[in-house]
């Protein structure tokens, strides 16, 4: 059984440095198991996402320490384990695949969260040209089953250079392009979540391919994930 929830629940109730120092061995053991699971996900992703096999688990896992400099929440530690997988690395501006393990709120998904202005402009241009393709991706039964719809904060009005009656205005108003699905706690505890996550990643491959095509030079195929 995976030990994540027991540790994370205890951390949520004792989110301070003294507790973490006193339980460093417990944290190290729990993190080590998460790294093993991330390695499994990397191997699975490399079967359908070219370039993923060069990464080690530590390249994809986020630190548990929080950056509290600009946050009202001064808790020093995150209460989840998370990782991000992208062919261009964890800090890539391109699309990727995400997992966050947290009691009662474990999610998998991906896409692009809050792209920089230039990439956002490129994505909107691709939607303007090929919005029907994105609509077909969102309406695919497998995508619907896993993710429901494309998520992301939206502008209240139409973006500059696009009319409010544009046929794909709902997509053009997005400021992030993401899709997520929740996993059950029991599947995390017994390890079944790993293959369920990989299945979800496969279902969102066309979505990420669309985003990659929008922001990268794909004449030589380099933008296709």
Quick one: pLDDT at residue 40? 98
Q: Does residue 219 surpass a pLDDT of 70?
A: no
Interhelix angle 24-45/193-203, rounded to 10 degrees, is: 40
Res 217: pLDDT: 55
Token code pair at residue 171: 């997509």
Domains of the chain (ranges plus CATH)?
4-215 (3.30.930)
Q: What percent of the chain has pLDDT over 70?
A: 96
Query: What pLDDT digit, counting tens, does each position of 126-182 carry?
Result: 999 999 999 999 999 999 999 999 999 999 999 988 999 999 999 999 999 999 999
Ranges 64-73, 133-142, 215-224, most confident: 133-142
**Average pLDDT over every residue of 63-91:** 91
Q: What is the mean pLDDT of residues 34-61?
A: 96
| Mean of the per-residue pLDDT values of the chain | 93
127 close to 177: Cβ distance less than 8 angstroms: no
Question: What is the pLDDT confidence band of residue 45, given thresholds at 50, 70 and 90?
Answer: very high
Q: 3-class DSSP state for residue 111?
A: strand
Using DSSP's 3-state secondary structure scheme, residue 147 falls into: helix
Residue with tokens 């303007």: 128
């Amino acid at each position: 059984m995976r030990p994540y929830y027991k540790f994370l629940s205890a951390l949520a109730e004792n989110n301070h440095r003294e507790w973490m120092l006193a339980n460093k061995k417990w944290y190290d053991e729990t993190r080590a198991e998460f790294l093993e699971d991330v390695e499994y996900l990397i191997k699975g992703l490399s079967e359908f996402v070219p370039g993923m096999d060069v990464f080690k688990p530590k390249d994809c896992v986020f630190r548990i320490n929080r950056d509290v400099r600009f946050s009202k929440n001064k808790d020093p530690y995150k209460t989840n384990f998370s990782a991000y997988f992208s062919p261009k690395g964890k800090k890539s501006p391109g699309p990727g695949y995400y997992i966050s393990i947290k009691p009662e709120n474990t999610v998998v998904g991906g896409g692009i969260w809050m792209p920089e202005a230039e990439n956002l402009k490129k994505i909107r241009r691709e939607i303007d040209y090929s919005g029907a393709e994105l609509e077909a991706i969102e309406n695919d039964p497998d995508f619907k089953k896993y993710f429901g719809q494309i998520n992301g904060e939206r502008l209240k009005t139409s973006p500059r250079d696009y009319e409010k009656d544009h046929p794909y205005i709902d997509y053009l108003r997005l400021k992030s392009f993401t899709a997520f699905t929740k996993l059950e706690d029991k599947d995390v505890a017994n390890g079944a979540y790993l293959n369920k996550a990989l299945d979800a990643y496969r279902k969102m491959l066309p979505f990420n391919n669309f985003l990659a095509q929008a922001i990268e030079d794909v004449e030589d195929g380099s933008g296709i994930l």
